[in-house]
């Protein structure tokens, strides 16, 4: 669609005018395979069901006439909603999110008033945390310490010329999902995808090769912690696939927005985000090979390192897609076990790193062969006090794209090694 057509369409939707019946035929096949369109698990708004609408019917989300036997069916709002949906969205750029903040929360909410749907976070569903742990609905996932800001996502996607299908009235969740296609991803992995790349909104992402992590030099983390190397117990399903052929290509997915060039504003962080460069030569957890520093890895990486000279990680090995009890969407459970403590500042990332790196901080930074700071002097210039009780804040040197040039501000000579 041209940008001009997009503007025309925006104007039509802005007025709340919407004609549903034409594209229904085109949607039909894929829609019936989707979670929403399913006749057994699909959408079912009580008030519409009692009016005779079958499970999965479009009318559970769209209101063709905005009235049913004279009254507007619950939830009733004042004005007609964009796309003739039963409710509009506010998409604020700050939490807490309420049911009224986003159309999807009328159902994807532990107390959804239209239809209650239970969903867990990635750490529980694909990371081995118990199903009773963590948030139990999508709205609960967003209302945690960190979250993908719906207002910012809406602004970013709407203003980008790469996503012409997105209108002023579009739903920010649809930046990552297509409500007419999304499937229940946890019943058949990876064959059922819940996600669509924003640049390819009208198809699902990550159901088959090459849209899988097996396209990279990937090693699936443990779902259940094992202290020795075994092929089994791996994410995302506890099985024996180690090469990522059961995991959607989340690198390709996340970097659709978080590319090495896009400027993305974050209201939460009150700054533009750092760019992410997962390509060859970019970051250590991406396409840049590790250096000769003797790596102290935990399993399964320790053993796998003898056959893989450069591990490339999935973004969801460390991050949640919706929100987290830790800052920066960092998972509460990584590589088979819960983090040893919550992460509330980028200056104390140890509980995350130590799920995969072993050896201890002094060893890693001062003692191992090729350590960055062997034989240190003037301890306080880096540590700011007694080293044992004054760790050097990690956030100065370890973040996407970082090196240790921060040391210049301490009058020290950096190694300029890539540190993330
Ligand atoms: C789970 C709720 C839900 C169901 C069920 C649903 N839709 Fe939608 N539909 C939406 C949302 C949300 C949008 C807004 C898309 C956006 O954000 O741009 C939308 C948008 C549309 C559009 C605008 C073009 C597009 O694809 O974005 C058409 C046409 C449409 N729906 C038709 C249908 C038809 C026909 C059905 C049944 C076969 C259906 N919808 C079922 C939620 C739903
Ligand atoms: C930045 C991209 C992104 C945004 C924005 C986003 N999601 Fe997701 N969502 C994902 C990814 C990736 C997955 C697959 C991983 C998973 O299941 O945890 C997912 C999974 C899901 C699932 C299935 C969860 C499960 O495993 O049971 C639901 C339901 C869902 N999202 C709903 C929503 C709703 C509702 C919104 C808006 C309030 C939203 N998403 C916004 C990326 C996103
Ligand atoms: C009328 C209620 C309703 C609304 C509104 C709704 N959903 Fe759903 N959604 C469901 C139901 C029911 C399922 C299937 C639940 C299941 O798998 O148990 C589902 C499933 C999904 C799935 C597949 C993963 C899963 O849990 O099975 C995704 C992704 C999803 N919804 C995203 C969205 C997004 C994004 C929106 C808003 C644009 C939305 N939903 C709005 C009821 C709804
Ligand atoms: C549709 C575009 C889009 C996609 C796809 C996307 N993001 Fe984002 N992301 C954003 C925007 C916009 C922000 C800035 C708003 C904010 O900070 O929440 C952001 C912020 C973030 C942040 C900082 C959150 C914070 O603490 O404020 C992290 C971490 C992040 N994204 C990770 C991911 C991961 C991992 C994926 C893939 C599952 C992903 N993103 C996919 C748009 C996207
Ligand atoms: C999910 C496992 C995992 C987590 C979590 C993790 N790492 Fe790594 N890290 C690795 C692996 C494996 C490598 C080797 C990458 C390669 O082969 O290119 C690596 C490489 C590195 C390197 C480069 C080492 C070299 O020899 O070049 C640094 C520095 C690093 N990680 C720092 C961190 C920090 C800091 C954290 C916490 C904020 C962290 N990592 C979290 C697994 C992880
Ligand atoms: C060039 C900067 C630099 C200098 C100078 C330096 N350190 Fe460190 N040191 C680090 C970094 C970075 C770490 C890893 C982060 C942390 O745990 O503090 C570290 C870690 C440590 C740790 C582990 C602390 C912990 O939290 O487990 C000890 C002990 C330590 N250093 C002792 C010393 C001593 C003793 C000196 C002086 C002889 C010294 N360091 C000088 C950078 C430095
Ligand atoms: C002054 C900068 C600096 C600070 C501050 C710092 N580090 Fe490092 N760190 C480094 C450098 C340099 C390396 C070596 C990178 C390389 O050679 O690949 C490193 C390596 C690491 C590694 C990877 C070890 C491996 O396997 O090669 C981990 C994990 C790590 N640091 C964790 C931390 C944590 C946790 C903190 C905060 C408590 C921290 N660091 C603070 C500079 C720093
Ligand atoms: C080894 C763990 C790890 C992996 C893998 C990882 N991240 Fe991160 N990410 C972090 C940590 C730790 C932070 C907080 C430090 C920082 O801001 O860079 C972070 C922060 C972010 C931020 C916020 C950046 C900012 O401006 O502060 C974004 C966006 C992000 N990650 C996206 C991604 C994407 C996209 C991928 C996959 C291509 C990815 N991450 C893979 C650990 C990881």
Dump pLDDT digits (tens) for 232-277.
999 999 999 999 999 999 999 999 999 999 999 999 999 999 999 9
d(CA 361, CA 354): 10
5, with CB counted inside 10 A (0-12, 13-18, 19+), is: exposed
User: Can you spell out the DSSP letters for 120-136?
Assistant: --HHHHTT---TTSS-S
User: Can you spell out the DSSP letters for 226-249?
Assistant: -SS--SSSBTTTTBS--SSTTSB-
Give the percent of the chain with pLDDT over 90.
86
Ligand 4 atom nearest 175 alpha carbon: 1
d(CA 412, CA 35): 57
User: Can you spell out the DSSP letters for 18-57?
Assistant: ---TTTHHHHHHHHHHSTTT-TTTS---HHHHTTTPPTT-
| Residue 3 predicted with pLDDT over 60 | no
Cα dist from 392 to 132, 267, 418, whole Å: 36, 28, 17
d(CA 56, CA 192): 18
321 C-alpha to center of ligand 2: Å? Answer: 6
Token reading at 354? 């130590």
pTM: 0.97
Nearest ligand by distance to the CA of 401: 8
Ligand 2 proximal residues by C-beta, below 6 Å = 102, 104, 108, 119-120, 122, 125, 138, 142, 148, 153, 172-173, 175-177, 185-186, 194-195, 321-322
245, with CB counted inside 10 A (0-12, 13-18, 19+), is: middle
How sure is the predictor about 68, in pLDDT bands with cuts at 50, 70 and 90? Answer: low
Over range 60-81, report the average pLDDT.
73
N-terminal to C-terminal alpha carbon distance within the chain: 39
How many C-beta neighbours within 10 Å does residue 4 have? Answer: 8
Output the CA angle 153-157-162, nearest 5 degrees: 155
Measuring from atom 3 of ligand 2, which residue has the nearest CA?
176
| 257 C-beta closer than 6 A to ligand 4 | yes
| 264 C-beta closer than 6 A to ligand 4 | yes
249 C-alpha to center of ligand 2: Å? Answer: 15
d(CA 298, CA 283): 20
Token reading at 46? 């009580």
Over range 204-209, report the average pLDDT.
98
| 61 C-beta closer than 6 A to ligand 3 | yes
Over range 307-328, report the average pLDDT.
97
d(CA 16, CA 6): 15
Rounded (to 5) percent helix, strand, coil in the chain: 25, 5, 65
| Residues found in the chain | 420
Q: What is the pLDDT of residues 120-170, one digit of tens each?
A: 999 999 999 999 999 999 999 999 999 999 999 999 999 999 999 999 999
36 C-alpha to center of ligand 3: Å? Answer: 6
Long-range contacts of the stretch 337-344 (C-beta < 8 A, 24+): 337/225, 338/129, 344/145
How sure is the predictor about 70, in pLDDT bands with cuts at 50, 70 and 90? Answer: low
d(CA 62, CA 40): 19
Over range 213-229, report the average pLDDT.
98
Ligand 7 atom nearest 392 alpha carbon: 5
- H or E element: which one contains 266? strand 265-266
Measuring from atom 11 of ligand 4, which residue has the nearest CA?
153
Token reading at 95? 């939490």
The contacts of residue 158 (CB under 8 Å, 6+ apart) are: 166, 167, 168, 170
Nearest ligand by distance to the CA of 334: 5
The chain-wide mean pLDDT, for the chain, equals 92
């Amino acid at each position: 669609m041209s940008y001009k057509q997009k503007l025309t369409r925006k104007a039509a939707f802005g007025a709340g005018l919407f004609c549903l019946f034409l594209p229904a035929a085109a949607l039909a096949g894929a829609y019936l395979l989707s979670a929403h369109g399913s006749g057994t698990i699909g959408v079912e708004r009580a008030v519409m069901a009692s009016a005779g609408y079958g499970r999965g019917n479009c009318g559970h989300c769209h209101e063709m006439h905005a009235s049913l036997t004279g009254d507007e069916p619950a939830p009733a709002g004042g004005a007609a909603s964009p796309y003739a949906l039963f409710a509009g969205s506010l998409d604020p750029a700050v939490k807490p999110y309420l049911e009224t903040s986003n159309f999807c929360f009328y159902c994807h909410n532990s107390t959804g008033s239209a239809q209650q749907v239970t969903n867990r976070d990635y750490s529980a569903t694909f990371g081995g945390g118990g199903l009773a742990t963590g948030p139990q609905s999508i709205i609960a996932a967003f209302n945690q310490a960190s979250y993908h800001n719906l207002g910012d996502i809406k602004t970013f996607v709407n203003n980008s010329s790469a996503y012409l299908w997105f209108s002023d009235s579009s739903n920010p969740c649809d930046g990552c999902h297509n409500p007419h296609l999304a499937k229940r991803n946890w019943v058949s992995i990876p064959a059922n995808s819940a996600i669509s790349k924003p640049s390819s909104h009208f198809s699902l992402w990550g159901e088959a090769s090459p849209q899988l992590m097996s396209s990279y030099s990937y090693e699936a983390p443990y779902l259940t912690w094992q202290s020795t190397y075994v092929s089994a117990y791996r994410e995302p399903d506890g099985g024996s696939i180690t090469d990522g052929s059961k995991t959607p290509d989340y690198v390709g997915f996340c970097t659709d927005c978080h590319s090495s060039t896009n400027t993305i504003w974050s209201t939460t962080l009150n700054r533009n985000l750092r760019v992410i460069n997962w390509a060859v030569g970019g970051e250590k957890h991406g396409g840049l090979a590790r250096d000769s520093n003797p790596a102290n890895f935990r399993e399964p990486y320790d053993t796998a390192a003898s056959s893989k000279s450069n591990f490339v990680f999935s973004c969801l090995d460390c991050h949640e897609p919706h929100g987290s009890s830790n800052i920066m969407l960092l998972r509460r459970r990584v590589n088979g076990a819960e983090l040893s403590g919550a992460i509330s500042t980028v200056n104390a990332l140890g509980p995350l790193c130590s799920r995969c790196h072993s050896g201890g901080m002094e060893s890693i930074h001062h003692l191992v062969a090729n350590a960055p700071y062997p034989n240190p002097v003037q301890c306080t210039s880096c540590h700011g006090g007694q080293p044992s009780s004054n760790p050097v804040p990690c956030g100065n040197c370890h973040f996407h794209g970082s090196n240790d040039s921060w040391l210049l501000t301490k009058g020290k000579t950096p190694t300029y090694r890539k540190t993330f």
